[in-house]
Amino acid sequence: MNIDSINNGIVIDHIEAGKSMEIYKYLGLENLDCSVAIIKNVKSKKTGKKDIIKIDNDMDVNTDILGYIDTNITVNVIKDGKIIKKTHMELPEKLVNIVKCENPRCITSDEQDIDQVFELKDRENKIYRCKYCESQIKR
């Protein structure tokens, strides 16, 4: 299989195998008017298999989404065929409008204009709590 390199754009690398479609949806990549390549189950020396997403366009990538999904991800910014910036992901301290509170009694269930805000409460176990009702989600 031959996937062209990109001259200007973004490469999201070291994605846990099978998670690329989840990232594609979270980042809204279906709305882009450029080439997007999803490469699944690529051989990896570190993890055995990984996924890669190549975006043939310069864009802002929501690193909070990527850090929430997988902290092993790296984002490479490509300019003139060379990596000019490499960013490693971390668990974000706060998630805003990334996940939705599932508590039917939460104010965010009734008030549609309120942001869905979750704050990291336990980094080791990747546990977030809703800012309003304290409902817990675990990644």
* Domain 94-138 in this protein, CATH class: mainly beta
31 Cα distance to chain centroid? 16
Q: Is residue 84 very low, low, confident or very high in pLDDT (cuts 50, 70, 90)?
A: very high
- Only one residue has tokens 């869905």, namely 116
Domain coordinates in residue numbering, the chain: 9-88, 94-138
Instruction: Report the predicted TM-score, pTM, of the whole model to 2 decimal places.
Output: 0.87
Q: What is the pLDDT of residue 110?
A: 87
Kindly write down the DSSP assignment for every residue of 94-128, as one continuous string. Answer: EEESSS----TTSHHHH-TTS--EEEEEETTTTEE
Confidence tier at 135 by pLDDT (50, 70, 90): very high
CATH number of 9-88: 3.30.70.140
